């Protein structure tokens, strides 16, 4: 998008699918709840979302598989955007929003549940490390202007709920159960 216009310009972003609650509700532009996940206000915004996915996305994908990962990402992002829309309606404070943060927080939420199910650790990721990362990210959002914190919280909650539904802990087979002769 940077190549065809200014992604920090609100009007440009609205033209290309950013979320704006009045347009979703009054004009039936429900697609914005989806398209806004793939738009970002500037390259730094995109970079910060992708950085979290680089560190956490592959861990979740290995734990749940490609299809379930995609479901958590997309439905989690939609969940974040729906909570954001509800909050906009409740407060009457309508802002244009875009970004993958709701989906990214869904990934974090899913990992919170999965790590808890795995006694506080998943691969090299511990509950403490993930908790610190989530807390710092939420703190940064709540202490900065122009951040859609309701999308973050909605994504986090949706991610936990989806992980409860979709995660299947891999069963470990004790080594004694393997027949050594049949493996050669």
DSSP secondary structure code for residue 144 in this structure? S
Burial of 35 (0-12, 13-18, 19+ CB in 10 A): middle
Dihedral, 126, 72, 100, 86 alpha carbons, nearest 10: -110
pLDDT of amino acid 127: 85
Residue 125's DSSP bridge partners are 122
Q: Is 97 a catalytic residue?
A: no
pLDDT beyond 90 at 123? no
pLDDT of amino acid 117: 92
Condensed to tens digits (0 to 9), the pLDDT of residues 57-90 reads 999 999 999 999 999 999 999 999 999 999 999 9
CA 100 to chain centroid: 6
Out of 63, 84, 101, 150, which one is annotated catalytic? Answer: 101
> The tokens of 9 are what?
């310009």
Look at 80-84, 133-137, 168-172 and tell me which has the smallest mean pLDDT: 168-172
- pLDDT-derived band of residue 1, with 50, 70 and 90 as boundaries? low
> The tokens of 135 are what?
């807390």
Contact call for residues 102 and 79 (beta carbons, < 8 A) = yes
d(CA 19, CA 173): 48
- pLDDT-derived band of residue 95, with 50, 70 and 90 as boundaries? very high
Condensed to tens digits (0 to 9), the pLDDT of residues 16-69 reads 999 999 999 999 999 999 999 999 988 888 998 999 899 899 999 999 999 999
d(CA 15, CA 112): 36
pLDDT of amino acid 178: 56
d(CA 117, CA 126): 12
pLDDT beyond 60 at 132? yes
> The tokens of 31 are what?
């697609």
The domain covering 10-167 belongs, at the CATH homologous superfamily level, to Rhomboid-like (1.20.1540.10)
**57 CB-side CA count, 13 A:** 16
Out of 63, 152, 180, 182, which one is annotated catalytic? Answer: 152
d(CA 150, CA 167): 25
pLDDT of amino acid 81: 97
């Amino acid at each position: 998008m940077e190549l065809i216009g200014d992604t920090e310009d609100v009007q440009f972003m609205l033209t290309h699918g950013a979320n704006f609650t009045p347009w979703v509700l009054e004009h039936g532009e429900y697609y914005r709840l989806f398209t806004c996940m793939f738009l970002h206000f500037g390259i730094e915004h995109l970079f910060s979302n992708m950085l979290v996915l680089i560190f956490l996305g592959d861990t979740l994908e290995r734990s749940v598989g490609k299809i379930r990962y995609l479901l958590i990402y997309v439905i989690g992002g939609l969940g974040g955007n729906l909570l954001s829309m509800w909050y906009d309606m409740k407060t009457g404070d309508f802002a244009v929003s875009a970004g993958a943060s709701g989906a990214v927080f869904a990934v974090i939420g899913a990992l919170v549940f999965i790590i808890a199910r795995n006694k506080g650790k998943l691969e090299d990721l511990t509950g403490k490390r993930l908790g610190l990362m989530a807390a710092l990210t939420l703190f940064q959002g709540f202490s900065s202007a122009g951040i859609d914190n309701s999308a973050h919280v909605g994504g986090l909650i949706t991610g936990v709920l989806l992980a409860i539904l979709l995660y299947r802990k891999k069963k470990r087979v004790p080594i004694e159960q393997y027949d050594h002769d049949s493996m050669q």
